[in-house]
Structure 1
């Protein structure tokens, strides 16, 4: 009889784990959001869209390139060749080259996850609030204490703070999650007059509250309506995380206007997204790319295990799947 595994979080790490364990286990993914994505989410309004988390990804490992190959062939993933610049309040812009391929999912960053979820059992809008150990496994409960089922193993691929909250009290090694950390980030989403934008497509930013600006509508497969995603630095976000959100939006908008030289009238609308757990630090000690507690059957994976890139989420989920395959 195949073991049953509950995976909390249907992002890239969780979906990779389920994909790798196909045929070996009965995997059920629980996702609190109404759609797939996590930090690969896409927001839409009228004829505009914003990839307000990850804007692109690289493929440095052979395994990740193999995963992407059929999606590239199908048009779900495309290589991105932006006109990239560097901005700073004190210096003129200068062109910034990229020396390796960069990719995006089409028509939004969550398209890759939607493709990977095909054939998987995913329960959307289902938040796992707590779990309880039973003689026959782990029983999961939602926020109303509703029974979500009992499973042989539970894996959290959620961001680190949620993983700590869910699994921490039950781990045989209380310090198993101690080496890992995450940082916040703000995403400013602007509807703009596309004709008013400069010629470059994306920018790295130095010495400002913002650290990244991209003209989202210029990514492959997007529509023509002007849309901008601007990310803050983690340091600025941490300092202003609990400040009035209207004030935060105003400060980031002013930084964007100062860096780009756009007039205020070029902005047709603005929204703000606060990522409390956006960026992952390199672990204090190098590990295997996942957390596995053999005594309890609990485990965790995610980009935060390997330093935060999109590819790190894939590699973490894949490494944990292989570790679970070796265990009874």
Structure 2
């Protein structure tokens, strides 16, 4: 049976940053366990036809000195670029946001396509992380970055009672290919003057990540919640009407896909960057819904996920040094 000092459940930004922080502090016997075929979580990029679209986070902003320092390094390495915004820049990744996640995780041991079914937290001996395929991995510490409604299903009753109550709003994203240009102005992002229920519209060709015209429409949480019982075709049909309003004369929609994000944004955030829920603090919960006490934005976003992961990694590294 495989044994690791630290297992991180979830390969989104929080999990990646927790791992990078631990490794920076000398804790290298770690493993990220990710249910999908790629790291990144909502730093997600999908191919549609000959095009490509970011279907989760489109960009990020910077308020904290920690992220600002890293962004300077990422800019120098070519991992990110300044997309738009003055005086507060919006940063994105030239290859799509998932490319940034992969670059950040390149030195981290990761087990992909591995869904965790339970974490057994006994008082004696290591934790036991069981996968849906029956495989078991022993660990002394576990960092869980999955959204709270998913995380709670993995825990014992005692640990479940310590999980803060966090509800999430969904988000539906329609992705469309055009056979001609769109009317979305450069730099390819619109978030004002939109129809009710629409959060933003993006032309990924003008954004610079797609060789063909690929347009995404991102719906607000309340709209997505009202319509989540509808079939995919019905949802996509309504969203496509928005996309079609941005067609240049003579252009047409040639392809369409829908992405349902079930846990897109926390409706209530937690004002601490991570929470200990296991016996003797051996299971830590973190993620974009766990905000630092001095967080001025007060909402889930790229930076809150980044800072939560860094804080969880710092906290666990200090604990391990004291053992």
TM-score (ref. length: structure 2): 0.87
Q: Give 1:199's aligned residue.
A: 185
Q: Give 1:92's aligned residue.
A: none
Q: Secondary structure at the match of 2:149?
A: helix
Partners of 2:210 and 2:28 in 1: how far apart?
A: 40
Instruction: Write out per-residue CA displacement over residues 155-178 of structure 1, whole angstroms, 9 at most, x where no aligned residue.
Output: 11112221121136341x714322
Q: Give 2:45's aligned residue.
A: 42
Matched, 1:246 2:247: no
Partners of 1:298 and 1:105 in 2: how far apart?
A: 32
Q: Which runs of 5+ in 2 are unaligned?
A: 292-298
Q: Give 1:91's aligned residue.
A: none
Deviation at 1:261, TM superposition (A): 6.2
Q: Give 2:280's aligned residue.
A: 295
Q: Secondary structure at the match of 1:251?
A: helix
Q: Secondary structure at the match of 1:152?
A: strand
Residue 185 of structure 1 contacts residue 231 of structure 1 at CA under 8 Å; is this kept in 2? yes
Q: Which runs of 5+ in 1 are unaligned?
A: 82-96
Partners of 1:215 and 1:113 in 2: how far apart?
A: 21
The correspondence of residues 1-328 of structure 1 with structure 2, limited to 5 A, is: 4-22=5-23, 23-81=26-84, 98-134=86-122, 135-147=124-136, 149-167=137-155, 169-171=157-159, 174-178=161-165, 180-200=166-186, 201-205=188-192, 206-220=194-208, 222-258=209-245, 260=246, 266-283=252-269, 287-293=271-277, 295-306=280-291, 307-327=299-319, 328=323
Q: Secondary structure at the match of 1:231?
A: strand
Deviation at 1:133, TM superposition (A): 2.8
Residue 192 of structure 1 contacts residue 269 of structure 1 at CA under 8 Å; is this kept in 2? yes
Instruction: Write out per-residue CA displacement over residues 282-314 of structure 1, whole angstroms, 9 at most, x where no aligned residue.
Output: 42xx52211113625111111121231101111
Deviation at 1:21, TM superposition (A): 0.7
Partners of 2:158 and 2:29 in 1: how far apart?
A: 23
Instruction: Write out per-residue CA displacement over residues 114-149 of structure 1, whole angstroms, 9 at most, x where no aligned residue.
Output: 1111221100111111122343111111113222x1
Deviation at 1:3, TM superposition (A): 7.5
Residue 182 of structure 2 contacts residue 247 of structure 2 at CA under 8 Å; is this kept in 1? no
CA separation of 1:289 and 1:195: change in aligned 2, threshold 3 A: same
Deviation at 1:240, TM superposition (A): 1.0
Q: Secondary structure at the match of 2:212?
A: coil
Deviation at 1:181, TM superposition (A): 2.5
Deviates more, 1:309-318 or 1:198-207: 198-207
TM-score (ref. length: structure 1): 0.86
Q: Secondary structure at the match of 2:121?
A: strand
- What is the number of equivalent residue pairs in this alignment? 305
